[in-house]
Amino acid sequence: MTPTYEDFVSNADAVCAEIATACRLARRDPGEVELLAVTKNHEAWAPTYAARYGLAGVGENRVQEAIDKQPQVTAKLRWELIGHLQSNKAKIAATHFDRVQSVDSTKLLTRLDRAAAEIERPLAVLLQINAGHDPAKFGVDLADAPALLGHALGCVHLRVDGLMTIAPLSDDPAVAKRTFANLRELRDQLAAEFSTPLTELSMGMSGDLALAIAAGSTQVRVGTALFGKREI
């Protein structure tokens, strides 16, 4: 059943309060951490509520699902692709998203760069890093990140904003903590080595956002805590 907007507001207020608390504990300004509403598996009401609440962006996992929703959402939003992208869908992704967070191969970079050139619109990207060494996750290994970034910086139609990771599923918070620390350290190393800021650190979800903020996250991607459990 579709929740009411009032239900959504109470969820969103709670998530914002959790972000504010985590920022206070980490002595960070809450303005440095964006809440990205993850609207996958929810119909157009979800991005519409997010926009009405004042959130600037939504995250979607699948290209086709986002394309189906977009015409039903009149509010202005930034659409970000957070799910795995096959390189044969690069053009359609570049056309329908403002940023692709799941870039994990040189082949995909090359395809996205070419697509952005064709549609004459620069595309923002994040590099997805498997910072938790999780065999079940996409993303390049930490050791392969410098080569991927080197390639990305050569793609003139792409703008590399930073890095993204997903922590392994685990009951032990130390696992997420280590994953986020790995991403933060990698970012600091790469930024120095390549003299590029890589300001965006997209990390943290409903269950681990406070840990991510403590480690330097600039964007938490939250679905369940905002919209409830997904039915599919």
Ligand X SMILES: *Cc1c(COP(=O)(O)O)cnc(C)c1O
Residues that bind ligand X (CB under 6 A): 38, 40, 61, 82-83, 166, 205-207, 221-225
Residue closer to ligand X, measured from CB, 61 or 87: 61
Ranked by CB distance to ligand X, the top (closest) residue is 223
- In whole angstroms, how far apart are CA 154 and each of 175, 176, 213? 33, 32, 30
Residue closer to ligand X, measured from CB, 84 or 114: 84
Locate all alpha helices (DSSP H) within 60-172, ordered by sequence: 63-69, 90-96, 106-119, 145-153
CB of 178 to ligand X, least distance (A): 18
CB of 13 to ligand X, least distance (A): 16
Residue 181: other Cβ atoms inside 10 A: 15
CB of 195 to ligand X, least distance (A): 29
CB of 61 to ligand X, least distance (A): 5
- With beta carbons less than 8 A apart as the criterion, state whether 180 and 167 touch: yes
- With beta carbons less than 8 A apart as the criterion, state whether 225 and 12 touch: no
CB-based contacts of 228, cutoff 8 Å, min separation 6? 3, 7, 11
Residue closer to ligand X, measured from CB, 120 or 231: 231
Residue closer to ligand X, measured from CB, 142 or 166: 166
